Amino acid sequence: MNLFNKKSNKLQTTNEFNQVVVGNSLTKDAWRRLKKNKMAVISVIIVIVYILLATLAPILPIYPYDEIILDHQHLKPSFSKNAGELLMEKRLADIYTQAWRQGRMQVSEAEEEMLWAWIDSSNANKVWDYMFVVGSEQVAEGTYTLTAAEKRIIENLEKKLQTDLQITVKKVWYTNSETGKKENVARLPVEQVVEIYAEMVGASIASVSNQYEREIEQQLVKVIMAQNTGLTPEEYLLLYDKKLESMSEREHDKLIKENVFSKIVSYAKDIASQDLKTAATDASAEFPLDKEISILGSLSADVEATRKHDRQYYLGTDNQGRDMLSRIIYGGQVSIAIGFIGTITSVLIGIVLGSLAGYLGGKVDYFIMRIVDIMYGLPYMLLVIIAMAIFGRNILNLFFALAIISWLTISRMVRGQIMSLKNQEFIEAARSMGAPTWRIIFKHLVPNSLSVIIVFSTLRIPSFIMTESFLSYLGLGVQAPYASWGSLVGDAVGGMTLYPWKLFFPAATMTIFLFAMNFLGDGLRDAFDPQSKNQL
C-alpha cells in the first residue's frame, strides 16, 4: 500500500500544472545516444589516447625523435633485445653468411637449395636470419669454429658496445669564486657567459667576440640565402646588414648567448665523454648514470650518460637510426594538429560565408556561391601544390593552403542548413523583436546547425589527415627532421621489402586513427539526428 501511494504521488507531480513533460537537454540526449553506440565509444577512447600521446610527447619516456644514431640504422623492432644485441646478431649473421658463401661453413643440400632460392628472390633478410640460427648452432656444437679475424671482429664489436656512450649535458653550473654561489650558466646574462667562455678557453674577450660575430654572420647569411635564392653575394651582405639593423639588442644578445653557450656545452660534453670512457671500459661505473662532473676550474656540468647500445627500439629504427616509436608519436602530433586546425579554420570560414549567403540570400548569396562554384572547378591538389610552391614549404603554410581550399563544402552545407532554418518561426520571432542580423545568425541559426557542423567536421578530419599525408608522401608536406604519418610512410616506401616495419607501423597507426574518427563521426550523426536508427 505504501508503494502504491508513492507511485501515485509521482504521477501527481508529473501532472502538476507546471511540471515537466520530458527531461534532458538536447545535448544530453545526444550524449546518451552516443554512449549506447559501442563503436563510437571505443573510437572516442582511441582518439583521446592518440591526442594524449601526441600532446604529452615531450614528457613521455621516449628517445628524441630527431636524434640520429648512425650505428643504429634500420634496426628491427624488438621487445626482447636491445640495440647492442641486435647489432651483434646482425654482425654474426653477416659473418656466418660470409662463411657459408666462402664454403667454410657446411649446410645440408636441402638448406643450400632453399638459401639460394631466397637469394634469387632477393630475400636477404631471410638468408641472414636463417644463417644466424644455423651458425649459432654450429658454433655451439663445435662443427664450425670462428677464424681469428672473425673473433677479432666480434671482440671489437663487443668492446664498442660496452664503451660507446650517449652523453647529454643537461645543465652547466658556474661557481662564483667570490660568493661561492652555484649558478646555472644558461640563466646568466650574456656578458658573463662570454666571460666564462673566455676564461675557459684562455682567450681574450675581444678575440672571443670576434669569433662569435663571424659565426653569427655566417649563420644569418645562410638563413637569408635559404629564403631568397639567386642573388649576388653583395646583395646578401646588404640584406644581412639590414637584418642586423632591424634586430633589437635583445635578439642580438640572444643569438650571441646561444652561440657561446653551445660551445661551452660541447666542450663539457667532450670532457665528460673522456672521463666516462674509462669508467665504461673497466666497468667502474653503473650505466645509465646521472651525475655532476667538474669540467674546468669553477665550471661543472650535470651529465646524463647511457650506453648507446642499451637502447630498446620497440618499433625499430629508420634509415638514420631514429626511433620509429617516437617518430610516430611526434608524427601524430603534426598529423592530428593539421587535421584539427585545418578543420577548425575551414569550418570557421565556411560558417561565416555559408551563413551570410544562406541568411542574406539574393546578391550576396549569388556572389559567394559563384566563388564557391569556381573554386570547386579548380583542381584541389593543384591549388595546394601551387600555394605550397609560392609560400614556401612549412607546416604553417600547409595549414593555410589546406584551409583555404576546404571551406567550400562546409559553406555549402551551412548555407543549406541556414536556408532551411531561416523560415522557422523562431527566427521570425527574433526578427519581430528587432534582432539585428548578426544576432540572428550567430545566436540562433549557427547554434541550431551546430550538430550538423560537428558531425561534418568530425568526418572531415580524416580527409585532412589523408590530404596532408598525400602531400607529405609527394614530398610537399612536412620536411625532415619533422615527421608526420604521411612523411613516415613516404620515407618507408623505398625500403619496403627490406624494412617492412618502417611502413607497417605508421600506416597502421594512421589507419586506426582514421577508422576511429570515421566511426566517431557516424556515431555523432546518429546521436544528433533525431530521425536516426537509434531513435525509438
Binding site for other proteins (CB under 8 A): 4-5, 7-8, 10-12, 14-26, 32, 424-426, 428-436, 439, 444, 447-448, 450, 536
Residue 532 Cβ vs other proteins, minimum distance, rounded to whole Å: 14
Q: Least distance from C-beta 35 to other proteins, angstroms?
A: 12
Based on CB atoms, which residue is closest to other proteins, 18 or 248? 18
Burial 282-312 (b: 16+ CB within 10 A, else e): eeeeebebeeebebbebbbbbbebbbbbbbb
What is the rounded distance in angstroms from the CA atom of residue 331 to the CA atom of residue 262?
27
> Could you tell me how many residues make up the chain?
536
Residue 30: CA count within 13 A, CB half-sphere: 20
- Mind spelling out the 3-state secondary structure of 247-291? CCHHHHHHHHHHHHHHHHHHHHHHHHHHHHHHHHHCCCCCCCEEE
Q: Which is nearer to other proteins, 211 or 448 (CB)?
A: 448
- Grid coordinates standing for 200? 675557459
Region of residue 362 (phi > 0: left; psi between -120 and 50: alpha; otherwise: beta)? left
The nearest distance, CB 10 to other proteins, in angstroms, is 8
Which is it for strands 299-307 and 165-175: parallel, antiparallel or unpaired? antiparallel
H or E segment at 234? helix 233-246
Residue 32 CB, nearest distance to other proteins (Å)? 8
Nearer to other proteins, 25 or 248 (CB): 25
Q: CB of 29: closest distance to other proteins in angstroms?
A: 9
State the nearest-atom distance from the C-beta of 366 to other proteins, in Å. 9
Of 61 and 434, which CB lies nearer to other proteins in the complex structure? 434
Specify the 3-state DSSP secondary structure of 20.
coil
- Tell the smallest beta-carbon distance from residue 383 to other proteins (Å): 26
Instruction: State the Cα–Cα distance between residues 96 and 78, nearest whole angstrom.
Output: 22
Packed helices 148-163 and 83-101: angle between N→C axes, nearest 10 degrees = 170
SS3 182: strand
Distances (CA, A) of 370 to 363, 373, 405, 411: 10, 5, 15, 12
Nearest residue (CB) to other proteins, 336 versus 357: 357
The smaller minimum CB distance to other proteins, of residues 1 and 390, is found at 1
Cβ proximity to other proteins, 22 vs 226, nearer residue = 22
Give the max Cα distance, the chain. 102
- Tell me how far, at minimum, the Cβ of 16 lies from other proteins, in Å: 7
Q: How far apart are CA 371 and CA 469, in angstroms?
A: 28
| 462: nearest Cα among 94, 3, 13, 46 | 46
Nearest to other proteins of 22, 148 (CB atom): 22
Of 12 and 218, the one with the shorter C-beta distance to other proteins is 12
CB of 411 to other proteins, least distance (A): 21
Q: Which is nearest to 408 in space by CA: 445, 337, 446, 456?
A: 456
CB of 264 to other proteins, least distance (A): 60
By beta-carbon proximity to other proteins, the closer residue of 88 and 371 is: 371
